[in-house]
Structure 1
């Protein structure tokens, strides 16, 4: 079974959705490790409850991003990781990781990219008064939420929605779309042509 590393910084509900999918037999791969840049984040508690190994680090203890990413790459290579899933990981991935895992790092973002990249995407959608927003899973490149888009799913925004209610609707979609997209990748149903992602459902 193909091995997955999940990177997260916060509550970890999307990490949990992947764990639950694996336990239910709905995930092609196996979650081998959680990488967290916040030692006190609740996602670390979730991982320990699920017996998933945790590597938690504090970036300020390293002299540069390259230094801590070098350590992470060594861990991932030793574990024979085949796919990295950013699920609420609040740091830009640097060249060290990108070069070591080309087109093997995906990110989950709570908007229909290229709309509302970066932080507070849900708040931006509310502020702009859009009628639809959504969820995007994309490959990671050197930019902020600029990599090739793999899958997207829309979420309707009503006049009654605020950040909390819209966040809940988006989380529900994320918890479905992320495992589905991971499965597409690990089943080799994804190809890339000039940054355009092609999906073979057959």
Structure 2
């Protein structure tokens, strides 16, 4: 059986990328990272990948007049590297239906809030402004909406008195590094079954069969 080939899209430091690389190196995720793509030339995620000998390519959003052209460039790189699962690890671009349809059911994202609460780019700010006592992170399949796909896994963290966006983000990030590799592992092992909005995690029976 061929291994899944991961294509990881990033926009910044790539700390979630680092946790995924470590999980692959440990053998926790039985897959290969085929390519890392960043939408900014100076994204440190590219350097993290290159240090590990992983193909790393900048596809710069501002170099394209239209989003469709940018997404076609992304898809060209992913398909050229035989990617079977797209992983959005801090990728700060909303993907159009054209891209999503190219990898239907094969795109995972991590979001720093307990969806469906606080979707979008400012989850920590929004959570603090609302006054919630608990926040966290969510791994979900990507659909055509914004942070609206079926939920695979979530982790909660307390919101503490005096928290700032930075302090809350740091605690949430620790949980992101735990549940994102775990969710990718479940996908790669074929242990996720989606029924509408619900994602069932299949357990491995004795002998290794599902």
Q: TM-score, normalised by structure 1?
A: 0.95
CA distance in 2, matches of 1:200, 1:151: 13
Deviates more, 1:125-134 or 1:100-109: 125-134
Aligned-residue offset at 1:195: 2.7
Match of 2:133 in 1: 131
Out of 26, 43, 46, the position equivalent to 2:45 is 43
Out of 190, 193, 196, the position equivalent to 1:194 is 196
1:105 matches 2:102: no
CA distance in 2, matches of 1:114, 1:201: 26
Out of 167, 174, 177, the position equivalent to 2:176 is 174
CA distance in 1, matches of 2:151, 2:114: 10
Match of 2:118 in 1: 116
CA distance in 2, matches of 1:125, 1:27: 32
Post-superposition CA distance 1:148-173 (Å, at most 9, x none): 11111111112132222211111110
Match of 2:17 in 1: 15
Q: Which structure 2 segments of 5+ residues have no match?
A: 205-210
Give the length in aligned residue pairs. Answer: 202
Aligned-residue offset at 1:93: 0.9
Aligned-residue offset at 1:63: 2.9
**Cα RMSD (Å):** 1.3
Aligned-residue offset at 1:13: 0.3
Aligned with 1:152: secondary structure? strand
CA distance in 1, matches of 2:196, 2:118: 23
Deviates more, 1:90-99 or 1:110-119: 90-99
Q: Which runs of 4+ in 1 moved over 4 A?
A: none
Deviates more, 1:12-21 or 1:63-72: 63-72
CA distance in 2, matches of 1:65, 1:110: 25
CA distance in 2, matches of 1:164, 1:170: 10
Aligned-residue offset at 1:22: 1.3
1:185 matches 2:184: no
Aligned with 1:40: secondary structure? coil
The 5 Å alignment of 1:85-104 reads 85-104=87-106
Match of 2:29 in 1: 27
CA distance in 1, matches of 2:11, 2:163: 26
CA distance in 1, matches of 2:116, 2:142: 13
Q: TM-score, normalised by structure 2?
A: 0.91
